[in-house]
Amino acid sequence: MFKNVFDEINKKANIDKNKIFEIADSIKNADLSNELVLRKLIRDIARLANKEVSKELEDNLVKKIKNEGVPSNFNDLL
């Protein structure tokens, strides 16, 4: 099942599943209350997805995560 999900991600967004696992591993022990850690994570994910994240969007994401925690559905961040 997971293999199919990662194959679809790779096909649609050209994102290597190993890179996804690297970011997931980095989150496991990360202090997400630390603004610098959050900003690095946001930048890493944006780089992986080959997307530009404006300073304003990054600020909004950091503020929302710090105030409300990490949502179970990342679409709720937007």
Q: Which domain holds residue 53?
A: 2-77
For residue 30, the model assigns a pLDDT of 87
Q: How far apart are CA 56 and CA 53, in angstroms?
A: 8
pLDDT tens, position by position, 18-71: 888 888 888 888 888 899 999 999 999 899 888 899 999 999 999 998 888 776
Q: Where does the chain have alpha helices with state H?
A: 2-13, 17-28, 35-48, 55-68
SS3 51: coil
**Encoded tokens for 4:** 């199919």
Provide the number of structural domains found in the chain: 1
Q: pTM of the predicted model, to two decimals?
A: 0.74
